[in-house]
């Protein structure tokens, strides 16, 4: 999702418009202290090491209030940034710059936080076959934005929602009457462009899922030893995804078991905003 698709353009407009509306309400009275029509400029500086993401959301916040606003970027999404580095310069009407500032920074700080933690996990598994994969544990209303940030940092997007992938979990298996029944039902229902993945909790369930034709299997909270054995049993028949109990300290060991994917909810759920500052300069 690191390309600018039409879906992403629509999502940027929606999320930024909503964020501005909740902040401005009936009007920004403080910004009205500044003479209408006056110009201003500013620059964004980072105070910490990070990976940049969210520049399009940042730009949109200013341009929705001032269509002539100009943002000149010195770095691109996905690139590393260092303390004291000037990331961009903004030229806009003074009232628009002051009103949009917090919304613009909120997006840039949050999405850069998502990209930064993702890049740390990607670096930790470098040289293995494992991809770092996100989940649906995203902040409500910001799923596409956060999945974009994951992708520009080298991570891989899992399904976007419930509509573009089938993930058969424990409760689904119980309700369906077992692994075989759940797999058969999913295979009969899912369109050809929707992948089917099934969660297993032990090696016996893995063997049953493979016997049912599973092409993607989630290994839920398995030990390193069991993951290595799962890779041996699988013998390349299905994509194996490790999930549960993943930390930055442990992710390398998980990758070295030979699994294909490691899904991590913390990429989008436990995000620390990056420390950025927008400094105003006289026009």
Band of residue 261 on the pLDDT scale cut at 50, 70, 90 = very high
d(CA 100, CA 280) in angstroms, rounded, equals 13
Neighbours of 30 (CB within 10 A): 10
Q: What is the mean pLDDT of residues 56-83?
A: 98
Q: What is the mean pLDDT of residues 101-115?
A: 98
Band of residue 214 on the pLDDT scale cut at 50, 70, 90 = very high
Looking at residue 251, its pLDDT comes to: 98
d(CA 171, CA 128) in angstroms, rounded, equals 32
Q: Which residues are catalytic?
A: 102, 137, 169, 199, 220
Looking at residue 34, its pLDDT comes to: 86
Q: Are strands 216-220 and 239-243 parallel, antiparallel or unpaired?
A: parallel
Using DSSP's 3-state secondary structure scheme, residue 25 falls into coil
Mean pLDDT, rounded, of the chain:
95
Walk across the sheet containing 70-73 and list its strands.
70-73, 86-93, 39-46, 276-281
CA distance to 148, 213, 229, per residue, from 179 (Å): 33, 11, 20
Q: What is the mean pLDDT of residues 200-214?
A: 97
What is the pTM for the complete model shown? 0.93
DSSP one-letter string for 66-133: -TT-EEEESS-TT-EE-TT-EEEEEEEEHHHHHHHHHHHHHHHHHHHHHHHHHHHHHHHTTTSSPEEE
Quick one: which of 139, 113, 29, 92 has its CA closest to 278? 92
Looking at residue 282, its pLDDT comes to: 64
Q: What is the mean pLDDT of residues 214-236?
A: 97
* H or E, element range at 148: helix 143-152
Looking at residue 283, its pLDDT comes to: 56
Looking at residue 263, its pLDDT comes to: 98
Q: What is the mean pLDDT of residues 33-59?
A: 95
Q: Which residue has the higher pLDDT, 25 or 31?
A: 25
Q: What is the mean pLDDT of residues 187-205?
A: 94
Query: Out of 100-104, 124-128, 162-166, 254-258, which region has the weakest mean confidence (pLDDT)?
Result: 162-166
d(CA 170, CA 199) in angstroms, rounded, equals 7
Q: What is the mean pLDDT of residues 78-84?
A: 98
Domains in the chain, CATH or no CATH each: 6-122+271-281 (3.90.1170.20), 125-269 (3.20.20.70)
């Amino acid at each position: 999702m690191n390309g600018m698709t039409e879906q992403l353009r629509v999502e940027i407009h929606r999320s930024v418009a909503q964020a501005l509306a909740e902040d401005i309400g009936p009007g920004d009275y403080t910004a009205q202290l500044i003479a209408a029509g006056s110009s201003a400029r500013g620059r964004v500086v980072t105070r910490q090491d990070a990976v940049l993401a969210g520049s399009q959301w940042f730009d949109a916040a200013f341009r929705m209030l001032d269509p002539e606003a100009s943002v000149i970027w010195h770095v691109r999404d996905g690139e590393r940034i260092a303390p004291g580095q000037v990331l961009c310069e903004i030229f806009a009407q003074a009232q628009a710059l002051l009103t949009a500032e917090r919304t613009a920074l909120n997006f840039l700080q949050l999405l850069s936080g998502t990209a930064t933690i993702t890049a740390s996990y990607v670096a930790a598994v470098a040289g293995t076959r494992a991809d770092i994969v996100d989940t649906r544990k995203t902040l409500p209303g910001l799923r596409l934005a956060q999945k974009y940030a994951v992708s520009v940092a080298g991570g891989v997007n899992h399904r976007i929602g419930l509509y573009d992938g089938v993930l058969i979990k424990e409760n689904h298996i119980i309700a369906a009457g077992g692994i075989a029944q759940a797999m058969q039902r999913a295979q009969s229902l899912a369109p050809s462009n929707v992948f089917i993945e099934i969660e297993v909790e032990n090696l016996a369930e893995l063997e049953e899922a493979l016997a049912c034709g599973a092409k993607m299997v989630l290994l839920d909270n398995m030990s390193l030893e069991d993951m290595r054995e799962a890779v041996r049993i699988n013998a390349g028949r299905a994509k194996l995804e490790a999930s549960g109990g993943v930390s930055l300290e442990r992710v390398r060991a998980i990758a070295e078991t030979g699994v294909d994917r490691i899904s991590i909810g913390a990429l989008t759920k436990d995000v620390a905003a990056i420390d950025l500052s927008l400094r105003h300069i006289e026009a």
